Every structure is written in structure tokens, then in C-alpha cells.
Amino acid sequence: MSKIFISYRRDDSADYAGRLYDRLASHFGRDHVFMDIDQIEPGEVFEQVIKDKLAAVQVAVVLIGGRWLDIADASGQRRLDFSDDWMRLEITTLLERNIRVIPVLVGGAAMPKLEQLPECLAPLTRRQALEVTSHPRFHADADKLIKALEKIVDVLSPELPKIPEIPEKPGFLRFLVIASVIGIVLIAGGYLIVMPPQLIPIQPVDPVVEQTAEAARTETYPAQELVAKQPQQAIPGSIVQPDTEQPKAAVIEPEMVRIPSGKFLMGSVDGSDDEKPQHEVTIAYAFEISQYEVTFAEYDHFAKVTNRTLPDDRGWGRENRPVINVSFDDAQAYAQWLSQQTGKKYRLPTEAEWEYVARAGTQTAYWWGDDIGKNNAVCDGCGSAWDNRQTAPVGSFKPNLFGLFDTAGNVWEWTQDCWHSNYDNAPKDGSAWLEKDGGDCGVRVVRGGSWVDFPQILRSAFRYRFNSVGAYIFLGFRISRDF
């Protein structure tokens, strides 16, 4: 039974309602969050379902946007003034039950004044409101709402399992499962074919682009140090072909790019506190990272072979779109499975590795410069066809100087690292920063921003975190490989 009721007007705050629903449902469970008609089954009686939900929930979240007060019907009469207005009826019923009703102000809206409301809604003005802004504060504001609801709702958040950091050997049970799958395929007389990925060579860097990037770098990094500290350019043909040895089962391996060793400045001097202090990191080893974010086609194959639930694509399409609605645990499981099937060492990138490849030798806000420009990525304000609507197919925009696509925007990407609120005592060798120095491994660092985020969130230095068991419509991952 639903414990949390989200009340909103479609003409006023539908976008906020959808995003908050995803956050709350991922945290508390979809069965415990109700968002009016979106969850009423065909053939059910609307009025009865709403009444049943209103009578059972423990807390209500009332979204109030800039038009909430004044939305009118076709005759020009304000809807709130009608006694049979469903929004008015919902809130009145909830207030009469004397349960917690939280006004949530969205889009910069102000709390309505007493004289602006019908008498039945007057008690709403005495309720403490919470503000949820758009980016860059949306996720932090949503976290505050979640913490407030946790004190009210008697629903336990999913228990955080201990996640091994890619074990060296698969467990016996997993071995049996894999062996069983192979046995069934062989008995059925089927055959499996490993399809090597299509090679897409990295284009050489345009000298004009390189000069522009170099000029931008020298503003924050002394020119005499750049010669020794900038990483080598990834060269055409550096994408490594998968091994030709027969794997344990049919595997679709992501296309990988080999990244050379190098040094870079991690973080920023003028960003958020969690991006400081800016510090030099030395990546003394070469490694590989997927050229694209892991796609639905790649993840779905893994999910089907291992009998996992396929993640929801929101009707946007699967195949070459980045997989979404996958948790840190899901991403870890995918990397571990891929390692076991191929004998190669796949894993999630560390946070330092991620920023290193995202910058690709630059120190500007974005790898292409300090301005977001137009159609360089997908976000809320990037000038693309998918802005603030949905994900874009991977590779829809130009690659960075390492040949990687979508390191800015499209979907947030999981990293190995546990959350630390700043870079004090952060590793300087590119390794994952886990429990040491107070790391919170219940939440993991994510990078890159997404299709719903404002441009400043897409900066190479920007960092955020999500619960490791959370799965969201704006969050996916890419993988790394050691050799």
C-alpha cells in the first residue's frame, strides 16, 4: 500500500512531479509512492482509487509551482474556487486526516498567502514548506525531502549490501549457473557467435582545436609544466580488438579505447567545496575505457543471460541508447560477469580515471572550452534535439580528444569511489577512494551530468553521488579494463 502521496497539477509542475517520483520511488519503492492518475489501472474507478489512497497514505507531498494558484478552466474561473476541483478535494481530505502534508515549492514559486486560498485549504499555509529548485540544486533538494520523509514513513530503505570490488574468481554458485547455461545451449545444438565490435578510429586532433585547448589550459596551469604533465594524445587505431579466444558464453563487449599514462589537475579552484582542493593526480599506467556509455543492447544481453530484470527504458528506445535505471550494484555485476565470461579485467572506472579521460588533456570547464556552446552534448540548455526530454543515442555528438563520446551529459556515470565531501587526503595515483578517510560507501560518486541537468553540472570537475542501490532515469555507466 502506498505511504507517500504526490499531489500536483499537470499544467503547473508535471516535470518536477515526474522527477521527484523517480527519486522517491527508487528510494522507498514504487509500491509506496502514489502519483495520482499515472498509477490508476485501466478500468479502475478514478474517484474510488483516489479516495482509497488518500485514506491510507502516511504523508502527502503537495507540489506548488508558479501557476498553482491561478490555473483556470475554460470559462476563466480559477479551479481552486470550485468545491469539486480534485486538487482542492485531495488536499482538503489530507488536511482533515491531520497527517503530515508537506508543501513543496518548485520553479521558484512562493508559499500562497492565507487570503489567496479557499477556507478549506487555509491550514496549508501553516505547514512548513520545502523548496525544490531546478539545477544545480535539484538533487540536493530532493535529498532533503527524502530525509524528511524517512522520519515519517514506516518503510525501510533497501539494505545496502557489501559489494566486492570485482573478485578475482567467481563464486561456486555463479560457476554452476554459467556452466548450466552453457550445457543447455550445447545440448540444444545451438551455437553462439562472438561478434567483434565495429572499429571506429579516433580522428586526429585538429591543430586549431589543440591550440585553443592549449591556450585555455595555460590560464590555470603554468605553460612550462604542461609539457611534462599533459597526457599523450590517444592515436588512431588505439581501440583494442577483443581477444579471439572462444569465451565461455556469447558476449557483446563494449568498444574500448586505450588511454595513455599522464598527469592532470583534478578538481577546481572556483567550483563547489566538494571539488576542492584542486590537486595533481598521476596516472602512471595505461588502461582502457569504453568509448561509449554502456548501451541497452550490451546490458540487455547480460541481463537475459543471467535472468535479471530488464531495466525500464521509459519508451525512449533501447539498442544504442545508454542503459538507464541501473544501480551501482547492477553496474558492478555487469563488469564482473563480463570479466568472468572473457577472462579480461573489466571494472568500473575510478573517479580520478573518469575525470582524467573526460578532460582529455584540458583544464577548461568542458573538454571543448569554457562555454557550453550549442549541440556539444544533451542537457537542459545544451541546444540539442533531446534537451531535458530524454537520452540521446550514444555517439550523437563529437568525441573528446581521447576519442570518447558523451563524457559530458546524456547520463550520469557510476564510478568505483565511495563519497567523500571534499578532496582532503584524496589519492594522487588514480586509485579508487573507498572507506578510508571517512568514505561513505553506501553512496557512490557519479560523474558527467545528464540530459536533465543544467550546463554547469556537466563541467569536467563537477561531482555528485547516489545511493548504491538507487536506479534512475538519468543514470548509467561506462566500464574500464586493465591489461
Give the per-residue pLDDT at 256.
96
Give the per-residue pLDDT at 356.
98
C-alpha cell recorded at residue 90: 485531495
Give the per-residue pLDDT at 222.
34
Cβ neighbours, 10 Å, residue 308 = 16
Three-state secondary-structure class, residue 72: strand
- DSSP codes of every residue in 283-321: E-S-EEEESSPPBHHHHHHHHHHTTPPPPP-TTS--TTS
Q: Quick one: 195 exposed, middle or buried, by C-beta within 10 A (0-12, 13-18, 19+)?
A: exposed
Domain membership of residue 161 (yes or no) is: no
pLDDT digits (tens, 9 = 90+) for 394-420: 999 999 999 999 999 999 999 999 999
List the one residue out of 477, 341, 482 whose CA is nearest residue 417: 477
Are residues 187 and 133 located together in one domain of the fold? no
Give the per-residue pLDDT at 406.
97
Q: Is residue 347 a contact partner of residue 481, using CB atoms and an 8 Å limit?
A: yes
Are residues 280 and 399 located together in one domain of the fold? yes
Are residues 290 and 366 located together in one domain of the fold? yes
Give the per-residue pLDDT at 46.
56
Domain membership of residue 157 (yes or no) is: no
Are residues 178 and 144 located together in one domain of the fold? no
Domain membership of residue 162 (yes or no) is: no
Give the per-residue pLDDT at 160.
38
CATH of the domain at 331: 3.90.1580.10
Rounded to an integer, what distance in angstroms lies between the CA atom of residue 18 and that of residue 452? 12
pLDDT digits (tens, 9 = 90+) for 279-336: 999 999 999 999 999 999 999 999 999 999 999 999 999 999 999 999 999 999 999 9
Domain membership of residue 313 (yes or no) is: yes
Beta strands in 200-261 (DSSP E): 256-259
Are residues 139 and 191 located together in one domain of the fold? no
Last residue of a domain, one of 101, 119, 150: 150
Total domains present in the chain: 2
Specify the pTM: 0.58
Residues in the chain: 483
pLDDT digits (tens, 9 = 90+) for 141-196: 888 899 899 988 875 444 433 433 434 434 444 444 444 444 444 444 443 333 33
Domain membership of residue 165 (yes or no) is: no
Are residues 129 and 198 located together in one domain of the fold? no
Three-state secondary-structure class, residue 14: helix
Rounded to an integer, what distance in angstroms lies between the CA atom of residue 376 and that of residue 408? 9
- Bond before 136 cis per omega within 30 degrees: yes
Q: Is residue 301 a contact partner of residue 252, using CB atoms and an 8 Å limit?
A: yes
Are residues 137 and 252 located together in one domain of the fold? no
Separation in Å, CA 219 to CA 174, 188, 279, 362, 378:
52, 64, 16, 11, 27
Domain membership of residue 367 (yes or no) is: yes
Higher pLDDT, 140 or 101: 101
List the one residue out of 401, 410, 434, 419 whose CA is nearest residue 466: 419
Are residues 132 and 241 located together in one domain of the fold? no
Domain membership of residue 166 (yes or no) is: no
Are residues 122 and 188 located together in one domain of the fold? no
Pick from 24-38, 118-132, 284-298, 333-347: least confident: 24-38
Rounded to an integer, what distance in angstroms lies between the CA atom of residue 338 and that of residue 480? 11
Are residues 146 and 259 located together in one domain of the fold? no
With a cut of 50, say whether residue 135 has pLDDT above it.
yes
Domain membership of residue 158 (yes or no) is: no
With a cut of 90, say whether residue 433 has pLDDT above it.
yes
67 Ramachandran zone, left/alpha/beta (phi>0; psi -120 to 50): alpha
Give the per-residue pLDDT at 163.
36
Rounded to an integer, what distance in angstroms lies between the CA atom of residue 91 and that of residue 60? 9
Are residues 314 and 390 located together in one domain of the fold? yes
* Residue 188 structural domain: 172-482
pLDDT digits (tens, 9 = 90+) for 205-258: 344 334 433 433 333 333 333 333 344 444 333 334 444 343 455 788 999 999
List the one residue out of 157, 131, 140 whose CA is nearest residue 61: 131
Amino acid code (one letter) for 301: H
With a cut of 90, say whether residue 267 has pLDDT above it.
yes
Average pLDDT estimate for 435-453:
93
Are residues 259 and 357 located together in one domain of the fold? yes
Separation in Å, CA 235 to CA 61, 195, 196:
53, 24, 21
CATH of the domain at 27: 3.40.50.10140
Which residues on neighbouring strands pair with residue 463, listed in sequence order?
447
Separation in Å, CA 114 to CA 61, 111, 125:
19, 9, 6
Rounded to an integer, what distance in angstroms lies between the CA atom of residue 5 and that of residue 53? 8
Higher pLDDT, 178 or 5: 5
